[in-house]
Amino acid sequence: MLTVRWFNNYCNICIIILSLFLTTHFVSSLFPAPGVNTHAVLKRAQTIQGHKTPKKQWQAAWLLKAVTCIDLTTLAGDDTPSNVHRLCLKAIQPVPYHLLNKMDMHDQGVTTAAVCVYPSRVADAVKSLKAANSSLAVASVATGFPAGQTPLETRLQEVRLAVADGATEIDIVINRTLALTGQWEAMYEEVRQFREACGDAHMKTILAVGELGTFTNVYKASLVAMMAGSDFIKTSTGKESVNATYPVAIVMVRAIRDYFLCTGHKVGFKPAGGIRTAHESLLWLTLIKEELGNDWLCPLLFRLGASSLLADIERQIYHHVTGQYAAYHELPMA
């Protein structure tokens, strides 16, 4: 009893320290040099990449798990109501019914976790899902995606408009200038205002790790985003030259773990950008299982941001069921 009481008091003290810190000190004062151990991070990433993935029915089961964690995304300049409609239908039935039936999974409600679109297409997605009698989540990028360089009030208004149109999840982007110049209090304040503008919608904070320069900046930005109220932290917009990689993911998920151990609050993780193969999705699931545990292996705490990943997962499931690979044109397209 004494141990439990001591631990609870310790966590409460940690929360108070974190709150006071953001109003009185810079993040750098909490995390002095040398910062993140780059060698250890890279070594751990190599271990993850070298993992053997499951085979046969176990592989198929894990791939279906990956499907349920996908934010099926279209963020193209030529998006129209019709291709958003197709995307929504694909998200509702991501794997062909006859394949699920062969696996005795046809009645398990296998869908993607959400569809993700630009703010101007949110209403189209909501309309399509409502017509299909689906409660699938609609996510929208916002806050000057992908650069985050528009005026603050413009970014806030973009969030409010997306929520008003029916978005239940908002993927915001941080102003990378604030992180690169060590303006952690200013970054905290911006993210806090985005959290307020989201209202009841879940907020995923995109760090754009390829533009943060160092692992230490990634770690600090992860903590600030979580302190400011993020429900998820996300690696990338998918528009940077470097997107989701295993080393930066390890830094981010360990920040999530540190935050959880200190506060008892679970924050989700979303890698995005460049994830295209079924094999990669299995490695991401492995990373989450080993670094954060089984509790994070669900759409509430883990997402895969992807536009083309689903096609390869379908091909692998098709092979599992039929013993041969389908051509891409044989499977329904979004």
Model confidence, pTM: 0.89
Q: What is the pLDDT of residue 334?
A: 53
289 is catalytic: no
Q: Please tell me which residue in 220, 231, 270, 312 is annotated as part of the active site.
A: 270
CA 160 to chain centre: 21
CA 285 to chain centre: 13
Kindly provide the b/e burial profile for residues 232-242, where b requires at least 16 CB atoms within 10 angstroms of the residue's own CB: bbbbbbbebee
Determine the structural domain holding residue 42 and report its residue range: 2-330
Q: What is the mean pLDDT of residues 106-119?
A: 95
127 is catalytic: no
Residue 42 reports pLDDT greater than 90: yes
Kindly report the CATH number assigned to the domain that includes residue 314. 3.20.20.70
**Residues near 210 by Cβ (< 8 Å), separated by ≥ 6?**
236, 240, 241, 242, 243
H-helix segments, 209-277: 215-227, 246-263
Helix-helix angle 184-198:215-227, to 10 degrees: 40
124 is catalytic: no
Q: Please tell me which residue in 71, 171, 231, 312 is annotated as part of the active site.
A: 171
Q: Please tell me which residue in 90, 204, 220, 234 is annotated as part of the active site.
A: 234
User: What are 192-231's pLDDT values in tens digits?
Assistant: 999 999 999 999 999 999 999 999 999 999 999 999 999 9
pLDDT mean across residues, the chain: 90
* Total domain count, the chain: 1
Q: What is the pLDDT of residue 34?
A: 44
Name the range with the highest mean pLDDT among 32-46, 184-198, 237-251: 184-198
